Amino acid sequence: MFVLNGQPLLLGTPFETGDTLYPANWLGLASSEQREAIGITEVPDPPYYDPRFYYGYTASGTLIPKDHGVLVSGWVSQTRLTANGILSTSDWTVVRMIDNGTPIPSGTQELRQSIRVACEGKVESIDVTSTTDQLAVYITGADYPVWPTGTI
């Protein structure tokens, strides 16, 4: 990360110092000597953290977790909303069956049930976490974003 007068400079963004306006591509094209000549320093990027689960870092470098209970409640709600959104694409087949007796297409009921089962499995996995770290590992892992698929 490049810093000028205590302010970060983004690559691809024009900036001004003194009476000189530098174009957006200047940082990427300039040599380290040219950058240093106008007071630009390069410092390491701040450590990454996932803002969905953490507020940032303490001065000593420890992650500051968000409230686990609040996160669990939110992720459970989001998971159920996602399942409902997936199910909503085939709701019309159920309504049509009730309305005029047209059979639900083959495999649709099984797919809908597998989505419900997957949702409850995800909710259970969220509920069994006891820390924000555990929740973050599950949500960002390979299993959470995967839902049953099929043709309706």
The three-state secondary structure class of 101 is coil
The model's pTM is 0.74
The answer to whether 27 touches 35, Cβ cutoff 8 Å, is yes
- Residues 94-141 have pLDDT tens digits of 999 999 999 999 999 999 999 999 999 999 999 999 999 999 999 999
How open is the CA angle 141-144-147, to the nearest 5 degrees? Answer: 135
57 contacts: CB under 8 Å, gap ≥ 6: 46, 47, 49, 63, 64
DSSP E strands: which ranges in 26-71? 40-42, 54-57, 63-65
- Residues 32-74 have pLDDT tens digits of 999 999 999 999 988 899 999 999 999 888 999 999 999 999 9
In angstroms, the CA 113 to CA 94 distance is: 13
- Residues 134-143 have pLDDT tens digits of 999 999 999 9
The answer to whether 150 touches 111, Cβ cutoff 8 Å, is yes
The three-state secondary structure class of 129 is coil
